[in-house]
Amino acid sequence: MTVLEIIATACMIGGALIFLVGAFGLLRLRDFYARLSGVGIAAGLGTSLLLLGLLLHYPTPANTLKIGLALLVQLSTAAVGGNAMVRAGYLARTEPTDATRFDDLAATSTPADPPSEERS
């Protein structure tokens, strides 16, 4: 085994372990917002390490382009999707835990009002 293969294997194992920690955090974290944050961070770092390990294991110019594009798409869409899910939870009035000390969205958005019986 060459040094490059050892580093590639370590990156892939590290990425898989980060996904495992993210899955554990999904079960153990307190509320909706903390769970999404933990899973989002683990997904970004885990995917990055897995793709880096894959690139180091099969280093060709074509693979570099494919893996670079895959990483770019994954990181950008995961960030946008995670923010959209958190905002949807906030607008649906998903309650945070008592340990939450501040509300960054309070000044910029209003949670959805429950539908009323009367319509004009």
Q: Does residue 106 sit within a domain?
A: no
13-65 residue pLDDT tens? 999 999 999 999 888 888 888 888 888 888 889 999 999 999 999 999 999 99
Total of domains in the chain: 1
Within 8 A by CB and 6+ apart from 112, the residues are 91, 92, 93
pTM of the model: 0.75
In a domain, 85, yes or no: yes
Token pair 């970004």: residue: 44
Tell me, yes or no, whether 23 lies in a domain: yes
30: containing domain? 3-91
- Over residues 63-120, the pLDDT tens digits come to 999 999 999 999 889 888 888 888 888 888 888 888 777 777 676 666 555 555 555 4
Asked if the structure places residue 64 within a domain, the reply is yes
